[in-house]
């Protein structure tokens, strides 16, 4: 019950802030103009979670998908927030049980043809802005491309959390970039895998 209430309050807060923001949008992937595109794996840093529901509703609401959230109480609050923006959730911990979380995402994508998976690849506990391998492995298993999303605020409140979570000030500028897709090769070579991981991490750090 508390999670539903908190989720409702947070969703309203996000919407109210969103009404004041000034948006700049760049789509290098072309996804926003191609509704027929198949499943995609969204990737963005954990401290940009606040504005992603707004980005989704504003530019990509024709897509369907689910976000990976932890089975914790905090994760349940995120589930309730996302419900209010039309986004499903897959419960699983990429920290405590990464293999199980990966299996749940693969199962979701197979069951929901054309839907997307949403991952914060440095979550849920960091280190911040360091890409964990799960998102690369998911792309290898499914064959779906990764969409790196970067967001920059002109002014924001930075919380004292492990990821330095940011909340944009009302009336600030928000620059959103859907970067070019990363098509991941299904390779067992450790050096090639690391090179793909680093390239994706660099793309996500482009505006930081």
pLDDT tens digits, one per residue of 52-71? 999 999 999 999 999 998 87
Average pLDDT over residues 85-90: 92
Domains of the chain, each with CATH number or no CATH: 40-204 (3.40.50)
Predicted TM-score (pTM) of this structure: 0.93
Calpha distance 176→77 (Å, rounded): 25
More confidently predicted of 101 and 191: 191
101-135: pLDDT as tens digits: 899 999 999 999 999 999 999 978 889 999 999 99
pLDDT classification of 29: cutoffs 50, 70, 90: very high
The predicted pLDDT at position 95 comes to: 62
Q: What is the pLDDT of residue 162?
A: 93
Residues 6+ away with beta carbon under 8 Å from 121? 43, 45, 131, 132, 134, 135, 200, 204
More confident of the two residues 22 and 6:
22
Average pLDDT over residues 145-164: 96
Of 108, 107, 102, 169, residue with least CA distance to 137: 102
pLDDT at 28: 96
């Amino acid at each position: 019950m508390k999670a539903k209430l908190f989720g409702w309050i947070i969703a309203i807060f996000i919407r109210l802030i969103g009404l004041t923001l000034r948006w700049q949008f760049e789509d290098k992937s072309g996804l926003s103009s191609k509704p027929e595109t198949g499943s995609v794996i969204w990737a963005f840093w954990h401290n940009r979670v606040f504005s992603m529901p707004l980005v989704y509703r504003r530019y990509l609401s024709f897509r369907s998908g689910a976000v990976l959230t932890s089975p914790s109480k905090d994760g349940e609050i995120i589930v309730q927030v996302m419900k209010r923006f039309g986004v499903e959730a897959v419960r699983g911990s990429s920290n405590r049980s990464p293999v199980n979380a990966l299996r749940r995402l693969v199962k979701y994508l197979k069951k929901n043809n054309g839907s997307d998976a949403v991952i914060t690849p440095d979550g849920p506990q960091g280190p911040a802005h360091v890409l964990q391998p799960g998102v690369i492995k998911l792309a290898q298993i499914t064959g779906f491309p990764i969409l790196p999303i970067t967001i920059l605020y002109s002014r924001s409140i930075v919380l004292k959390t492990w990821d330095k979570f940011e909340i944009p000030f009302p009336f600030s500028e928000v620059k959103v970039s859907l970067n070019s897709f990363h098509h991941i090769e299904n390779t067992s070579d450790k050096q090639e895998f690391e090179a793909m991981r680093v390239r994706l991490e660099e793309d996500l750090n482009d505006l930081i």
